[in-house]
Structure 1
Amino acid sequence: MSQNRTGRGPVRHRGALTLRRAAIPPSTADQRLLDSRSRADWRTRDAWRALRILAEFVEGFESLAELPSAVSVFGSARSKPDSPECELARRLGAALAEAGYAVITGGGPGVMEAANRGAAEAGGISVGLGIELPFEQGLNQWVDLGIDFRYFFARKTMFVKYAQGFVVLPGGFGTLDELFEALTLVQTRKVTRFPVVLMGTEYWSGLIDWLRARMLAEGKIGPEDLDLICLTDSVANAVQHLVDSDAALAAEQEAREEAAVARTRVDSGADGE
């Protein structure tokens, strides 16, 4: 929820709607969908909610379909503009734009705004995927293409579907949610060769040490699962890792296509004998 620039109180954006003052509901669409204490109305309301959810997917697909190769950048909305992670995010956004990537963030303040700003200032495409929250601030001013979502799961699909990789800077629960969802999708092969970069070795090293000392040591994950994560403080290394992953995927796809053509030729020859 944002503060109205005219000074007339809070504003909440909910899909195409703009709500102010008494029109702002006490709960969000996600809360009303998932809260089990309000299940009495499911027969009359959930079917209509399904259409609204479908509409969010359609709007996201249509709005983002023409994006070039993109990278989703995550990090804390609470980081101050002069913090080290915001400075890092701004340089990262610029470097990604210069490498030809669009930059996708959650569209909020802090690290997200810094990454959007870096991309916009470098002449790249700056995308923000906002979400309806009781305390949200609205899309930041550096977003060129912005979509406001009611539902987290629709929004999270767009972060993955239209990105070639994730870069994750210091953040909180939401950042961790996106990080581990990406790792789970790669581990279970729901997405193919999806690079995940953690930036900020001091911030993330404790988590990596715990994954190695507990999850790996106890057999909850395999050694190859830790290889899914690239940990760095270098913007250049982060961008190069993404570029190299793109190149490796393109080479794999080309090899598969050539193998398919070769099999077709062999099969055609056998049929002609």
Structure 2
Amino acid sequence: MIHRLLPILLIIACTAGAEESPRTTMKKGLRAYQTGNYTNAVEALKKTVLTYPDLGHFNLAAAHFKQNEFKEASTHFQEALRSTDLTLQADAYYNRGNALLAQTTQLAGPEEINTAIQLAFEAMEQFEFSLRLEPDALDAKQNYEHAAQLRLSLEFKQGKWFFDNAETCLQENQAKQAQANYQKAQQQFEKILTEIDPTHLESTRLLPRTKERLAMLAQAVADAQADLTQSLRLIQDYQYLLAANLLVRESPERNYAFDIQPELKTQYEQTMQKNQQIIAIVNDLLKEVNTAK
């Protein structure tokens, strides 16, 4: 990643004078910056933003950036964009894009992927704004491409995380949670293929598998509902043993259905209980008849 920080700082250092306190403070901060003492640079430069709001914020942002305080750097580069100097605006857009990208390196864990995606996308916008002001800036073009690739990578990483988590949940019979993650994975892969890269191979490969899993879970629920309906019809036709066999049938798919729709499992249990009561009554009656003979 290419950073464009020092040129502006050097210009200010050359034009600053020592007669006035704010200028002296600016020069002190720039000197600290140039010697690598970024802590002192921040302390000095933050005192200059009221007198020099545009350049003060830009220089302060640069010092924060050097201290890996990328969120603060982004904030102050944003303030520098208030400048009417188009060259300064272009540099501020460019460096704010760098600061946003750098923030993604400080994020860890799947729960932060979405935040990293938003930062990468916003960084792309900043580089694009910079290029509108300086169309021939090669570094801005390169960093735009870098941000675009990072965003694509993060978008897929999020989709893959949802898919892998869904697979794990399914193995543990947590079908409802698996279904929710498959749905999120599908949204991610479709987003990549429709909005970012229609030829993305990994998304093209995983999207059909994700849809197959969702179709299987939907079919599992439909089959369980159909079996319950069929059982009730058998009971109405006095086919109690056939209904019992259908109700107690076990399969992974039926377990998936029960996890996705707990009320369906309750209906099964209630129907089984009533059917068993009927079977018990019928058996008692048959015993009485046999005893009477």
TM-score, length-scaled by structure 2:
0.23
Query: Comparing both structures, which one devotes a greater share of its residues to helix?
Result: 2
Larger RCO (CA within 8 A; separation ≥ 6): 1
Query: Comparing both structures, which one devotes a greater share of its residues to strand?
Result: 1
